[in-house]
Every structure is written in C-alpha cells, then in structure tokens.
Amino acid sequence: MFDKLIAALAQNRKTIVFTEGTDHRIQEAAARLLKEDLMDVILIGNEAAVAEAAQKNGVELSKARVIDPETYEGMGEMVETMVALRKGKMSPEDCRANLLKGNYFGTMLVKQGVADCLLGGATYSTADTVRPALQLVKTKPGAHLVSSCFILNRAFGPEELRTICMGDCAINIDYPDDLDKDGSVKFSGAQKLAEVAIESAKTARVFGIDPKVAFLSFSTKGSGKGGTVDLSRAATACAKALAPEMAIDGEMQFDAAVAPEVGQLKFPGSPVAGHANTFIFPLIEAGNIGYKIAQRLGGYDAYGPILQGLNAPINDLSRGCNADEVYKMAIITAALA
C-alpha cells in the first residue's frame, strides 16, 4: 500500500507541517521522511528547543524548516487573515493568542499555502486538531460535515494483502437532523451518514480499494427494527441517489457484509453483500469498537483517523502513537494532498 503512495509523492512533492516540533516521535518520523527524501518538512517550535531535542533524540533534522510562532515575520498578516475568517467572532488579540499555539499556527500555514498538509495530535486532543481546521481551512464546497475513516490492512499470505476502510470511527458521535428556524429539516441525519459513506469511499480509492460500501446494522434488509436501523436504511437510499455509480447497499449485518454465503442468503442479489470492503457504522460507539477489534484481535494494521470533508488534508494522531505510525500517517496525509 505504501509503495504506491510513495511513488505518487515522488511525482508530486508536498510540504507537511508538524504541530509538535520537539516531540521525540515527531522528530524521529520527520528525520526518516527527510532521509528518504519523501517530502519537505516544517516543524513548529522554538528553534533552540527543537535543536536541543533533536540532539537528545539523536536525529538529523538540518533539512527541516523550523518555524517559531513567537518570532514569525508574517504573524501580522496571519492575525489579519484569521480575524477575517472568524468574521467578528474573535478579536485580533484573541487571534494572536491562538496563533501562538502550534495547532492554530500550523493550520494557518496550510491555509496560506506555506504547507500542503498538516499532521498533529501527538500531544493535542482530536478536538484541538479539528477545531482550528474547521475555523480556518473550513469544509470543502458541498461538504456539510467533517468525518473520518480508518484504513486497515492485513497480509493473509505472501501475495495476499487485504485493505479495508471503516468510517466514521472518531469524529461524529451520532447524526441528528439539522433544523431550520421553523423546525423543518434542513439536512437530515441520513444525509449526513450518506455523506460519510461517499467521502469514505473516495478515501478508499486513494489506497487502491475499489469501494463496495456496506451500511452496517444489527439488521439485514429489514430483519430487525428499532435503534439505528431506520437511519442506516435511509442513509443507504440517500447515498445511492447521490452516487449511483458506486456499489452501495444496506442495511446489513457484518456477517452479511463480508461472508458471501451469508450475504447472498440474507440479502440475495445485492452487489455488496458478502463482498464489502468499505464499512459505514451508524454511531461512533460501533465504529470505534469495530476498528479496534479488527486491529487488536483481527491482526489488521490501522491507519487514521483520516479526516474527510476539509479543504486541505489535516490529520490527527493518537496520543499513544509511535514514530513509525507518525511516519506512515505523514505519507498518507501528504498523498491525500
């Protein structure tokens, strides 16, 4: 999987910004990226502190560009841009205070085109990575929400590598209807979940997956009622209408989604049942539990959360990540740019 992404980067070089320039995992990954000449790297932090940490960590970072928000010459322009983007919701003083933080400063570097993409979260929470992205980079045209997916792969033999996609496992807790002032539905929960599915399918394609999208449930084709069954069923209909060219079906149980003999018994004639590789969960509880089961008991390597719906690739790390995970997520993030 990574060979294809690296080959793509060789043809289209990118610049990535890391929000936590002194973190040892970030530094180890950045040094490896630079040694392999995969992309240009910006580290945010005090230059002396970054250099001291690099010496302590035994890594070579002379080719990295280190930018300190405290001394950045373009800070005045950044503040003006952020004030305009926040449309009166934040004062210049508040904007400056936020831009002195790595998460906001790095996001603004992406907004201004200094960097193509951002990877953060080694010490920041997911919310602290997503919030600046929503405020500054914003959602892309046509997107109603930011969502996430995980790419998982596992080698089943020397020549068999299975890659799958799961979403949303990290961002959207549930999918309430958005209402107008008069109480009418402006954008339904089913439409939101359908958007997650279509964005996840697009992400899956980047990783060489020909997406076959299954909306998961504890029900298959009306066998159960209650809970989120209606949501998954309605979202399936929305997604099919929005992307008729995609292989999409639901609602279905996981065994019907992945086992051909079960899928065609429970959901005869479905182009997806038994062959799904892109799985859409109706709630974050199911999604988060599901991908972790695949990772910890199923032996899959999990990469993500990969954020979807933004105007530029901005991705989040687990605070428990290691340097190898940072390295691989950096490749994924740059490839998405």
Domain shared by 206 and 276, yes or no: yes
Domain shared by 159 and 297, yes or no: yes
> What is the structure's pLDDT at 185?
85
In the sheet with 160-167, reading across from the earlier edge strand, the strands are 247-252, 212-216, 278-280, 160-167, 147-157, 301-308
> What is the structure's pLDDT at 161?
80
> What is the structure's pLDDT at 176?
87
Other CB atoms within 10 A of residue 326 CB: 26
> Which of 236, 225, 332 is closest to 278 using CA atoms?
236
Q: What's the CATH code of the domain at 63?
A: 3.40.50.10950
Task: Quote the number of domains for the chain.
Answer: 2
- Please report whether residue 306 resides in a domain: no
> What is the structure's pLDDT at 315?
92
Domain shared by 177 and 103, yes or no: no
Report whether 121 contacts 306 (CB < 8 A): no
> What is the structure's pLDDT at 192?
95
How many whole angstroms separate alpha carbon 103 and alpha carbon 26? Answer: 14
> What is the structure's pLDDT at 223?
86
Domain that holds residue 178: 147-301
Other CB atoms within 10 A of residue 206 CB: 16
How many whole angstroms separate alpha carbon 327 and alpha carbon 9? Answer: 14
> What is the structure's pLDDT at 254?
96
Domain shared by 213 and 287, yes or no: yes
- Please report whether residue 100 resides in a domain: yes
Q: What's the CATH code of the domain at 289?
A: 3.40.50.10750
How many whole angstroms separate alpha carbon 17 and alpha carbon 292? Answer: 28
pLDDT tens track, the chain, 337 positions:
788 889 888 888 999 999 999 999 999 999 999 999 999 999 999 999 999 999 999 999 999 999 999 999 999 999 999 999 998 788 999 999 999 998 999 999 999 999 999 998 888 777 888 889 988 999 998 888 999 999 999 988 777 789 999 999 989 999 988 888 888 888 899 999 999 999 999 999 988 899 999 999 999 998 888 889 999 999 999 999 999 999 999 899 999 999 999 998 999 999 999 999 999 999 999 999 999 999 999 999 988 889 999 999 999 887 778 899 899 999 999 998 8
Report whether 314 contacts 240 (CB < 8 A): no
Report whether 153 contacts 291 (CB < 8 A): no
Domain shared by 108 and 161, yes or no: no
Domain shared by 134 and 151, yes or no: no
Domain shared by 294 and 318, yes or no: no
Domain shared by 35 and 169, yes or no: no
